[in-house]
Structure 1
Amino acid sequence: MGNKFLEGNFAPVSREHTITELAVTGRIPEFLDGRYLRNGPNPLSEVDPAAYHWFMGDGMVHGVRLRDGQAEWYRNRWVRNPAVAAALNGEDASRFCGLDALGANTNVIGHAGKTLALVEAGAPIYELTDELDTVGRCDFDGTLPGGYTAHPKRDPRTGELHAVSYFFGMGNKVQYSVIDVHGRARRTVDVEVTGSPMMHDFSLTENHVVFYDLPVTFSAEMAVAASVPAALRTPAKLVVSAMVGKVRVPDPVTAMMAGKIGANGGLPYRWNPKYPARIGVMPREGGNSDVRWFDVEPCYVFHPLNAYDDGDSVVLDVVRHARMFDRELHGPDEGGPTLDRWTVDLAAGKVLEERLDDRGQEFPRVDERLVGHRHRYGYAMSAEGGAAPGGSLFKHDFHTGSRAERAFGAGRQPGEFVFVPRHDEAAEDAGVLLGFVFDPATQRSDLTILDAETLETVAAIHLPDRVPHGFHGNWVPTAPVSTL
């Protein structure tokens, strides 16, 4: 049985590189002093195509160091969780399973002087060195045990990280947290939700935290099928179904389920048509009782582009999937996602849902200095069917309603692009966009630098290998960018 998420540029690479001499076309802007990092799944060992889900592959971080107009190095490293470390050392990695074996494969950020490889759903995150070697598990100096999220948001005014974490063992709760600039949790809030959703991302404004409680939920049937002998599956499913979404799952059951959920396997979450679709709005300093819930049309949102307050309303720009993990259980491929705007009218108690762009797109980004504030521009990757990257980068102008498109040509496939300002006080559009572009003709990737205003190529740094299609990355400057 084939699996598109193991083919073409979804297929893993087999080598780690340390390259200090890189060919460059064009000129690298001298204001770029830092590392462009990107994380994604890259199974180390042979996997079963029938069972493999793209989200479950071992994590690999790719990085390029830029300074003084030069590309100093390219490195790619597997994140060494216990299973990966054992396999790389020639040991039997099959004894490692459960959440400890899941790869930190989804995002990579810099915070409080550390580089962090991120994942969600209760699995551990890992600290890396500046050169991308694994230091070890991170729990923010013991202040936030139990997993984190793939999508924290940095408040541009305070520098703190805000996040919403989920894990099926928490039952009908997700956790909102704030990590201070020293890398320690200063605030956590448990928020009740309908059941056990896959809450991949959230939104932050100046005054509010927004939760996306949508109908992709933990599937007892899928988890039991992977962890329980056939003769016991029906009663086990009934027991787990009765608990998940109502109470915190008891530790023995959590251990049983997590014990069989290993790296490079299937994902125990799927579309649940009986689950209500809604969003919750909580004041930043509020608690569970302060969350107001609003119904929306059934859909799924992996990634909001940004959010901001507008008088008595909260404006959410999101990439909307009509459904997710319903028919396709190997990765996101249920039709083209659209760019939508949801305006939550707090006074009237309702949500206005509008379509901004109906062309398939994903991996939306804004200028990180405007997270939680009104933005003019946003960037997204064209997407076919929900997963396969198209050949273009979109730039949205929300003042004029226009969309510019940069095609890369000749079958080249761009990944997520991130914005970097020319300097701390530069205007929203004054800077560059950084992202990997795969060329199937050469089977290699370039780190491509675009002028954010014109979308013209400024420079391309040619890598010795390809960077497989992955998830998220960030620019980590050598010196922290000052807050607004």
Structure 2
Amino acid sequence: MKDGPENQANPYLSGIFAPVREEVTAHGLEVTGRIPDALNGRYLRNGPNPLGVDDPAAHHWFTGDGMVHGVRLRDGRAEWYRNRWVRSDKVAERLGEKPFNGPRHQDMDFGANTHILRFAGRNLATVEGGSLPYELDDELNTLGPYDFQGTLPGGFAAHTVVDPVNGELHAVAYCWTYPYVQYLVAGVDGRIKRHVDIPVEGSPMMHDFSLTERYVLLYDLPVGFSMEAATAGSTFPYGWDDRKQARIGVLPRDGGAEDVRWLDIDPCFVFHPMNAYETDGGQRIVVDLVRYEKIFDRSRGGVQGPDDCPPRLERWTIDLAAGRVRTETLDDRPIEFPRVDPRRATGQHRFGYGVLEPREGFAAARHALQEGGYEQAGIGLIKYDLTSGGAEIHRFHPDGDVGEGVFVPASPDAAEDDGWVLAYAFDPDRQATDLVVLAAGDFTAEPVARIHLPVRVPTGFHGNWIPAEA
């Protein structure tokens, strides 16, 4: 992985983060092992892949142009791999293509680089902060910005939760121009059926949220928009604010803004909850999540990505009767990208998955990958048994890398860990990436299958398994 001169000024443009330069289509991929016949669909993952950077020193990882990487599996075969840039206006212009006509929110058009999901028959690449998602076809070509058939009242969100009971899509959107955050619900027809504007102060960055059977959890934490940073030309004008009280909001699903109950908590930041559920007849809410003590602290200098505060897995128990939140550490090893069986969303889960990070913290340790040295820390995927308190780790090459692990059930009524975990893993021996298929019930064993891609997939963000539709 050689770095061009423009990448040496920014670690998020080099090594495992370095953008790939071409869109690739490859058919009939080589496989080591055997792909389970039940895996009929596409594994898609989104992430930043900047198409040209004007000022490498000022570039922030979170703002790179979106690129979706996908593998099509069918009948035990890996039919194709594709990677495609999401055609925002900037990407289309740089590729010499005509920008898409279509809706915009306040003329915002950020690269949709964070997640990829399928909802109401559409593939949606998402991003936060006020922009719209982009719709892609099944071969990852961009169809244009999407506003839920004209029903989206503003921008959208990076993260969503599909209620496994009724199939509705839930999200919490924020925008630096809003004096509120917006709870959104889309019906199975693909139209927004409900939205609630919830007043907040300081334009907080609300990257994700949690959903239970009856409640929406809002993470109003000390990272917010900085006009000073924006005026100074920052490409990511968000930072830590020591003056802001951290709090969590509990909104009844059918309630209004006046029904939110705010509970103060200690300062921290949460990118990603694992899952949340209710106990004691709804009087307590349990949420497992990844917590940072502090992040994006501009007082420490320039910010190009997450800083060196290591994240850890915690359990928060919200006692609605007492009006307090109790926290406990479930694992003090640094992890990120927590996931559960999507059928367990909003309900009690036993198993969870995450990416195990070296102890130096996400940014410093990942940058060190370029120099090797991961052997002691052991990057890998981790499976938690949150009933027994145990954990299993599937380790990868000490000089390699692995992305978010996505659980796929073996069948609609399979047990909670009867299925597979899919992830992109960089193989330093090939200098290319594999899609690995792990048996969730035999997590530390050799992968059931390794699907060998012809190129490297840069370190990125989130993805999903999109089953083939009958």
* Same fold at TM > 0.5: yes
Matched residues in 2 for 1:91 and 1:175: separation? 32
Letter of the structure 1 residue corresponding to residue 395 of structure 2 = A
Q: Is the 8 A contact 2:68 2:86 kept in 1?
A: yes
Matched residues in 2 for 1:214 and 1:324: separation? 11
Matched residues in 1 for 2:24 and 2:362: separation? 30
Corresponding residue of 1:261? none
Matched, 1:362 2:336: yes
**2:278 aligned residue (281, 301, 309):** 309
Letter of the structure 1 residue corresponding to residue 259 of structure 2 = D
Corresponding residue of 2:62? 55
Q: SS of the residue aligned with 2:442?
A: coil
Corresponding residue of 2:71? 64
Matched, 1:350 2:324: yes
Residues 188 and 101 of structure 1: CA distance in aligned 2, closer, same or farther (over 3 Å): closer
Residues 366 and 444 of structure 1: CA distance in aligned 2, closer, same or farther (over 3 Å): same
Residues 208 and 107 of structure 1: CA distance in aligned 2, closer, same or farther (over 3 Å): same
Matched residues in 2 for 1:34 and 1:182: separation? 22
Unaligned runs of 5+ in 1: 93-97, 227-264
The structural deviation recorded for 1:140 is 0.2
Corresponding residue of 1:431? 419
Matched residues in 2 for 1:414 and 1:370: separation? 24
Letter of the structure 1 residue corresponding to residue 230 of structure 2 = A
Unaligned runs of 5+ in 2: 1-7, 100-105, 367-377
TM-score normalised by length of structure 2: 0.90
Letter of the structure 1 residue corresponding to residue 240 of structure 2 = W
Matched residues in 2 for 1:347 and 1:127: separation? 43
Corresponding residue of 2:438? 450
Matched residues in 2 for 1:320 and 1:472: separation? 18
Deviations 1:217-248 (A, max 9, x none): 0001011122xxxxxxxxxxxxxxxxxxxxxx
State the superposition RMSD in angstroms: 1.7
Corresponding residue of 2:369? none
**1:203 aligned residue (170, 187, 210):** 210
The structural deviation recorded for 1:479 is 2.4
The structural deviation recorded for 1:391 is 1.8
The structural deviation recorded for 1:91 is 8.9
Q: Is the 8 A contact 2:61 2:305 kept in 1?
A: yes
Q: SS of the residue aligned with 2:304?
A: coil
Matched residues in 1 for 2:385 and 2:196: separation? 35
Q: Is the 8 A contact 2:225 2:237 kept in 1?
A: yes
Corresponding residue of 2:236? 267
Matched residues in 1 for 2:163 and 2:98: separation? 43
Matched residues in 2 for 1:27 and 1:268: separation? 46
Matched residues in 2 for 1:86 and 1:100: separation? 16
**1:339 aligned residue (298, 313, 316):** 313
**1:194 aligned residue (192, 201, 222):** 201
Q: Percent identity?
A: 55
Matched residues in 2 for 1:427 and 1:21: separation? 32
Matched, 1:150 2:124: no
Matched residues in 1 for 2:54 and 2:247: separation? 36
Matched residues in 2 for 1:170 and 1:373: separation? 31
Matched residues in 1 for 2:325 and 2:96: separation? 54
Corresponding residue of 1:104? 112
Q: Is the 8 A contact 1:81 1:100 kept in 2?
A: no
Q: How many residues align?
A: 437
The structural deviation recorded for 1:304 is 0.3
**1:320 aligned residue (277, 284, 291):** 291
Q: Which runs of 4+ in 1 moved over 6 A?
A: none
Deviations 1:276-313 (A, max 9, x none): 10000011101111111111110100000000001110
TM-score normalised by length of structure 1: 0.88
Letter of the structure 2 residue corresponding to residue 445 of structure 1 = T
Matched, 1:36 2:43: yes
Matched residues in 2 for 1:410 and 1:360: separation? 16
Deviations 1:319-340 (A, max 9, x none): 0011111036110123210000
